[in-house]
Amino acid sequence: MMTPKNFDLYKFKITPNKINSWLAERYLKGAGLMQFLQSGNKGQWGPAYRDLARLHQIVVKRNSCNILEFGVGWSTIVLADALRLNEQRRNSLKQKSHVYRQAGNIGNATHSFQVFSVDSSSKWIEACKETIPPHLEKYIQLVYSPSEAGLFNGRACHFHKLLPDIVPDFIYLDGPNPKDVQGNVHGMTWQNTDRPVMAGDILLMEPILHRGTLVLIDGRNNNADFLANNLQRSWTIRHHKLDNFTTMELRRSWRQVLREKYL
């Protein structure tokens, strides 16, 4: 599956806080993705085109290579397609050795151009498998991992029992479903639908993330506040009110700045 030749994906600009549904659909059509975002399974939410277009463009523009996603869904397909494009661009850059070196030998890390999508629901993992286009299967690893209640610095939250052994440069937080969180903290459970989700996995990972790592949190404002108040390294944190998402970026290295310049 190739991007249509009459649509220049790399020059199509979407401002994160100023994207409407029409612009998002135009972008996704141009990227050749709309045909894969039309049907789903019973009980599955329909695709949110604005969120999906934003995710795709962020991954492409940043030239991300390794993605960790919490919560399977339509986003899994979109993230995988963005990695497919990044892999193609990496391969074309190899023909220009000086540019490839300046850009930092992108895509040479372990598990390059893979999205590891973690979910606590085996039901939705199976449902996601049915929607993945064959040409994107090699870019996706679906990981079932139960989520358990726990503590971080004495504060109630929850963690996945198993995380993929990767070092992502982009993390998308849109899971787990609170109903899938097992256990309790002093009697408090996430089976109570009034209790907001409070994933703490990123806090465990923080010391071993590289500079330039970007985290995007879809909604989950209490969770975003919890992470912001407990992260210990130098992060740039922005809440985008219009579409209700939060971005957190570790201070970038000079090599990552060069990557954007050359790509």
pLDDT at 16 over 60: no
pTM score, two decimals? 0.84
- Other CB atoms closer than 10 Å to residue 199's CB: what's the count? 24
Exposure b/e, 239-253, CB count within 10 A at least 16 = b? eeeeeebbbbbbebe
Q: What percent of the chain has pLDDT over 90?
A: 59
Q: Does domain 50-262 have CATH number 1.10.510?
A: no
Tell me the per-residue pLDDT of 119-154, one tens digit each, with 9 for 90 and over.
999 999 998 898 899 999 999 999 999 999 999 999
Q: What is the rounded CA–CA span in Å between residue 183 and residue 159?
A: 11
pLDDT in tens, 84-111: 999 988 887 766 554 444 444 444 556 6
Q: Where are the domains of the chain?
A: 50-262
Give one DSSP letter per residue of 153-206, joined into a string.
TTEEEEEES---S---SEEEE----GGGEES-BTTB-TTSTTSPP-B-HHHHHG
State both tokens at 199.
Answer: 């994933």
